[in-house]
């Protein structure tokens, strides 16, 4: 059977260029086709005949669509007239709708057709048994290629119809699949950030909870296709931010974390991370020094005291914060008598490298003789608030002109900008400082606070490689690296899920990097570090999603199995879940109830639901993500317009992606050979073409260690 628009002539085709034809002649010629069309076996021959009759260009090619552009009004008039005059002939109506659907691959033609009311011709065919699949196939094609406005219009006009079809024809696999695909395309666009900006009320009008329940029940039916499951999980994951999620849907997402398909599991993880965003609390950013002093002044609970002693109390955050507060007070009081801003600056810079809360927002005060209220005192210093001393001290250090102390002045300026929430200023100082000293750890730390996570992660990875770095600065950058790599990995995997797109491999490198840094942080950071909870949230979620073996009862996260040669401190043998309980106890000890942050709630939900999720959905997830599973079947063109509407001359029609597996031996292709930063824009070493680097500074730093291997690889 020749394809639509090819030069093969159909029976009784009108003569090209005939003149003087009347409307009656045209109708008579079309009538002569009706018998042939009615006897055609399947939709593809119907469309072939109609394309030949109307002498359409080959609209499966770009050149053919350009010809339609040039003659759109004329072509549309003929097709619309035939549709109207043959209202009782579903074969002609369906074939014309199929032609329109293929035209919608072109965005300009699609917009023109929608302006002329194409949907009003398409939706009625959904209730015609003979045309149902054709109409659904057309909708999947249109929504696959369609712009967001058109997807939203289809959602507004047809989502209830599609839900009804799902419920009325649950035993028709292809009908169910096409309905789910169209719903996924339309509803995801409607609730996206861009969709909400266009029409917020449309998204709010959708009964997403009911939709998610119907979609989840559909997945549960025997032998769902991979295309259906892929689109269903995308819809479920994207809807969690906007809807109350049915319990079974939440368990499906939790079970999906164990899929062998990386894209699938990270789509589920993204959905779970969004699940609690609306009811979550902000993280604790400030520390009440009075609460800390009150807590440390009394003995810690016995189990916490044992952990602090095992780690080394003088290295713990509570001790360092209290000691630094005392040293800071002494330095500020001493400055009153000495007026020596230079010495004060050197002291403050060293405090800043010890702990996060190194500079107090206090002032020199005395009681008012009349009111008795404490008031600020003017002692002749160039500042009143203690934090305002930082830029003055930095200026005094620079005035001394000692090159080795330039970093100390920059530390004061960066800390002042960070305290005032002027991060761009801190970043500017950091970048200038790194040109002078590429081994300046605190400057990298300032860069980790930049709004661009790519910049922040690269800075954290480089900063942790600095030779002169305090434990506080190192662990600050490590926890930032965990957070930024985790968030970027999830985002990257969800945005690059198309088959053959290797961008998702970079996303996996980000997640593995986050997991590795979280393990190091948990093993080495002070047990009372206030960021320990956040790192453990990531660690628990990523271990569930990444570790090769995880039991349904999560026993691997409950205890830490020690090997004979392991030398660990007393608080180490606990598993991540137990360590999180300890981190919570430390937080409560210093008077801070752990905030119900988004990540905390996500971790709690996953841990709570995991055993039930594995029981309910574990077998389904295993079977659906089998690497040796059969590819989805492709229907013949005679059955519907699947082959023609999905013609590859233009763009691929909806396909399910094959399970995305990751060979860990490829991990080094996505990580800097020096600092370990995951990235897809690494530069290959010009010598061996094997090592990869973020930039010239990383390559230069690695050269001493890499030189011999580079020469050997070049020789080979």
pLDDT for res 153: 92
pLDDT for res 223: 79
129, 147, 169: which is the final residue of a domain? 129
pLDDT for res 698: 84
Q: Which of 74-83, 137-146, 674-683 comes out lowest in average pLDDT?
A: 674-683
Q: Model confidence at 467, in pLDDT bands (50, 70, 90)?
A: very high
pLDDT for res 137: 87
- Which range in 57-71, 116-130, 467-481, 561-575 is most confidently predicted, on average pLDDT? 467-481
Does 528 fall in a domain?
Answer: no
Residue 644 reports pLDDT greater than 70: no
Residue 309 reports pLDDT greater than 90: yes
Residue 366 reports pLDDT greater than 70: no
Does 398 fall in a domain?
Answer: yes
Q: Which of the two residues, 300 and 391, has the higher pLDDT score?
A: 391
Residue 645 reports pLDDT greater than 70: no
pLDDT for res 646: 56
Helix axes 90-103, 107-115, angle to 10 degrees: 130
Q: Model confidence at 462, in pLDDT bands (50, 70, 90)?
A: very high
Q: Which of the two residues, 33 and 95, has the higher pLDDT score?
A: 95
Q: Which of 27-36, 85-94, 252-261 comes out lowest in average pLDDT?
A: 27-36
Mean pLDDT confidence for 295-299: 77
Q: Model confidence at 31, in pLDDT bands (50, 70, 90)?
A: low
Residue 716 reports pLDDT greater than 70: no
Question: Which domain, by its residues, includes 693?
Answer: 682-716
Q: Which of 197-201, 287-291, 480-484 comes out lowest in average pLDDT?
A: 287-291
Give 408's contacts (C-beta < 8 A, 6+ positions apart): 345, 346, 349, 397
Q: Which of the two residues, 140 and 35, has the higher pLDDT score?
A: 140
Does 342 fall in a domain?
Answer: yes
Does 358 fall in a domain?
Answer: yes
Rounded-to-integer distance, Cα 394 and Cα 154, Å: 62
Residue 276 reports pLDDT greater than 90: yes
Split into its structural domains, the chain has a count of 3
Helix segments in 496-589, DSSP class H: 503-524, 532-546, 555-558, 576-589
Residue 650 reports pLDDT greater than 90: no
Are the C-beta atoms of 473 and 445 separated by less than 8 Å? yes
Q: Model confidence at 537, in pLDDT bands (50, 70, 90)?
A: very high
pLDDT for res 362: 82
Tokens representing residue 692 in the block: 């990869």
Are the C-beta atoms of 580 and 536 separated by less than 8 Å? yes
pLDDT for res 37: 75
Helix (H, G, I), strand (E, B) or coil at 683: strand
Mean pLDDT confidence for 39-53: 81
Q: Which of the two residues, 316 and 561, has the higher pLDDT score?
A: 316
pLDDT for res 134: 87
Tokens representing residue 619 in the block: 């077998």
The pLDDT tens digits for 233-242 are: 999 999 999 9
To the nearest whole percent, how much of the chain has pLDDT over 70?
A: 82
Rounded-to-integer distance, Cα 269 and Cα 651, Å: 29
Does 666 fall in a domain?
Answer: no
83, 112, 129: which is the final residue of a domain? 129
The pLDDT tens digits for 489-536 are: 888 876 754 444 567 778 888 999 999 999 999 999 999 999 999 999
Residue 18 reports pLDDT greater than 70: no
Mean pLDDT confidence for 327-352: 95
Give 642's contacts (C-beta < 8 A, 6+ positions apart): 137, 634, 635, 636, 653
Residue 669 reports pLDDT greater than 80: no
pLDDT for res 500: 43
Are the C-beta atoms of 495 and 506 separated by less than 8 Å? no
DSSP for 360-428, please give it.
Answer: ---B-EEE-TTT--EEE---SSS-SBGGGHHHHHHHHHHHHT-GGGHHHHHHHHHHHHHHTT-HHHHHH
Does 148 fall in a domain?
Answer: no
pLDDT for res 24: 58
Residue 32 reports pLDDT greater than 60: yes
Does 212 fall in a domain?
Answer: no
Residue 22 reports pLDDT greater than 60: no
The pLDDT tens digits for 203-234 are: 999 999 999 999 999 999 887 888 899 999 99
Does 279 fall in a domain?
Answer: no
Are the C-beta atoms of 529 and 572 separated by less than 8 Å? no
pTM across the whole model:
0.82
The pLDDT tens digits for 575-634 are: 899 999 999 999 998 888 999 999 999 999 999 999 999 999 999 998 886 544 444 443
pLDDT for res 705: 81
Rounded-to-integer distance, Cα 202 and Cα 179, Å: 20
105, 129, 153: which is the final residue of a domain? 129
Q: Model confidence at 689, in pLDDT bands (50, 70, 90)?
A: confident
Rounded-to-integer distance, Cα 651 and Cα 61, Å: 10
Q: Which of the two residues, 634 and 120, has the higher pLDDT score?
A: 120
Start-to-end C-alpha separation, the chain = 56
């Amino acid at each position: 059977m020749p394809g639509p628009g090819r030069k093969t002539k159909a029976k009784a085709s009108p003569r090209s260029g005939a003149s003087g034809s009347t409307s009656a002649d045209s109708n008579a010629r079309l009538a002569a086709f009706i018998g042939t069309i009615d006897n055609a076996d399947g939709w593809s021959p119907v469309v072939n005949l109609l394309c030949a009759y109307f002498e359409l260009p080959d609209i499966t090619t770009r050149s053919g669509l350009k010809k339609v552009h040039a003659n759109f009004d004329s072509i549309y008039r003929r097709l619309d007239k035939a549709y109207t005059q043959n209202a009782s002939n579903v074969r002609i109506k369906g074939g014309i709708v199929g032609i329109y659907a293929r035209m919608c691959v072109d965005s300009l033609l699609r917009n023109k057709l929608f302006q002329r009311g194409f949907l009003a011709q398409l939706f009625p065919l959904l209730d015609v048994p003979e045309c149902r699949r054709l109409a659904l196939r057309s909708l999947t094609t249109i929504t696959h290629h369609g712009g967001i406005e058109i997807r939203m219009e289809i959602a507004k006009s047809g989502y209830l119809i599609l839900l009804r079809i799902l419920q009325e024809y649950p035993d028709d696999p292809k009908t169910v699949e096409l309905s789910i695909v169209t719903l996924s395309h339309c509803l995801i666009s409607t609730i996206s950030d861009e969709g909400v900006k266009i029409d917020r009320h449309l998204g709010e009008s959708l009964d997403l909870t009911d939709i998610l329940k119907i979609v989840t029940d559909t997945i549960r039916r025997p032998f769902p296709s991979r295309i259906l499951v892929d689109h269903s999980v995308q819809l479920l994951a994207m809807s969690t931010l906007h809807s109350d999620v049915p319990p079974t849907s939440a368990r499906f997402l939790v079970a999906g974390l164990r899929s062998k398909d990386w894209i699938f599991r990270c789509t589920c993880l993204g959905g779970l991370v969004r699940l609690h965003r609306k009811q979550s609390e902000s993280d604790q950013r400030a520390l009440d020094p009075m609460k800390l002093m009150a807590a440390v002044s009394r003995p810690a609970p016995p189990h916490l005291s044992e952990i602090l002693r095992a780690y080394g109390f003088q290295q713990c955050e509570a001790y360092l914060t209290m000691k630094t507060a005392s040293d800071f007070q002494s330095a500020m009081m001493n400055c009153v008598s000495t007026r020596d801003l230079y010495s004060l600056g050197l002291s403050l810079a060293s405090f800043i490298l010890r702990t996060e809360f190194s500079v107090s927002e206090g002032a020199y005060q005395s009681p008012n003789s009349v009111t008795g209220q404490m008031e600020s005192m003017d002692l002749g210093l160039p500042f009143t608030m203690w934090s305002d001393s930082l830029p003055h001290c930095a200026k005094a250090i620079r005035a001394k002109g000692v090159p080795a102390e330039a970093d100390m002045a920059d530390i004061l300026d960066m800390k002042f900008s960070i305290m005032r929430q002027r991060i761009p200023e801190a970043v500017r100082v950091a970048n200038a400082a790194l040109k002078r000293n590429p081994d300046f750890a605190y400057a990298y730390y300032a860069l980790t606070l930049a709004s661009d996570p790519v910049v922040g992660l690269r800075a954290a990875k480089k900063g942790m490689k600095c030779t002169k770095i305090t434990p506080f600065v190192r662990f600050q950058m490590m926890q930032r690296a965990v957070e930024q790599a985790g968030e970027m990995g999830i985002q990257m995997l969800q945005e690059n899920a198309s088959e053959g797109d290797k961008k998702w491999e970079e996303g996996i490198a980000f997640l593995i990097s986050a997991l590795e840094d979280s393990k190091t942080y948990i093993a080495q950071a002070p047990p009372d570090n206030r960021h320990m909870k956040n790192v453990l949230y990531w660690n628990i979620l990523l271990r569930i999603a990444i570790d090769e073996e995880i039991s349904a009862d999560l026993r691997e996260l409950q205890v830490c199995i020690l090997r004979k040669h392991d030398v660990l401190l007393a608080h180490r043998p606990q598993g991540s879940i137990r360590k999180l309980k300890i981190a919570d106890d430390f937080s409560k000890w210093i008077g801070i109830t752990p905030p119900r942050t988004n990540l905390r709630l996500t971790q709690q939900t996953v841990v709570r639901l995991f055993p039930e999720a594995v029981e309910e959905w574990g077998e389904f997830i295993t079977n659906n993500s089998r690497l040796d599973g059969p590819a989805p079947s492709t229907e013949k063109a005679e059955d519907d317009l699947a082959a023609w509407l999905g013609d590859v001359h233009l763009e691929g029609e909806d396909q399910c992606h094959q399970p995305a597996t990751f060979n860990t031996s490829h991990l080094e292709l996505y990580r800097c050979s020096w600092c370990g930063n995951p990235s897809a824009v690494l530069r290959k070493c010009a010598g061996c073409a094997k090592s990869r680097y973020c930039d010239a500074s990383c390559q230069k730093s690695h050269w001493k260690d890499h030189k011999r291997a580079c020469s050997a690889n070049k020789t080979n």
